[in-house]
Structure 1
């Protein structure tokens, strides 16, 4: 793994721990939490602090909102297609979990939101997502649209302001968000979570949501 990419993975894990555990996670009112039996993370103030409305562009060039995309239980990941190894590995894990969930009888949608709109046009996204999984939804947009979505999900990314070539890397966090209709964000998964463990946890949340 290149040093810069390894730093991305390490920084992402550290930032995630600080953001979702150090800042938000102090106590949880589990008695009022319908997902208490499923939850592995602890987010004070409720899961509503993460996620929200977005307007982006899908891989077919259509402007869509969260209401158009997150119509089923969904696994949402922020990354970019030029990512040398972290994003392909994470998305490979996510779509493998989708296949496990399919076998378990759960219909869950994988979603990939690009943080690199300079290179990730709808056409580029379509080729990349279709290669990974037939149901994977790719989303891009203007820099402002992507920043708004990332801010809503409390995730970090940083691309070079004026890259000198087309081989630049984008620093970004690597968590995967489980989103449920009528509930929004309910859980996040680190990149160390296996497909089977992710699927087992996601199925618990889907069952608890009724």
Structure 2
């Protein structure tokens, strides 16, 4: 059993994507970040950086005590190694997957996150910041598009944790002032992942725990 501490953000969706794809049993614990629940003392014991997602694996493969992890990339890597799924054993494909996972963690996620903040949530509209992060997001989309012109999935021929990490950050492309039509290879990849049954199930949690306000 995996206990998942989650909210309906791109980083939260990464983990539900994996759990649904792998068919792992899990229990979801909503952490409403709009209400500050990520600062609760009990949650900070699991996630000292007060960010979702975090997990507790109640049955780690070493047979020892439960393991808790925070940081979405570390969680994806842990779950892939635990299950032997969605991370290639072939040396070259494995390294492709890992470098694109870290590309998302260090590039796409932070830049798109700043794009969201300055474009939608900042109390003061700062044209320089909006243009800076919109342009950088477009550049990163272009990098991804070029990669996907060469391969079916980000890591190569097989769907992997790199795709699961990247896809949720592309879902809000309109909020990021991007058009998928400008990136045809990315668009093909995006539509392929969107149609996967596990993706559909993972995103059903949004309506259950954080439905759109009328």
Instruction: Name which one, 1 or 2, has greater alpha-carbon Rg.
Output: 2
TM-score (norm 1): 0.25
Q: Specify which structure has the higher proportion of strand.
A: 1
Compare relative contact order (CA 8 Å, sep 6+) and give the higher one, 1 or 2. Answer: 1
Q: Specify which structure has the higher proportion of helix.
A: 2
TM-score (norm 2): 0.25
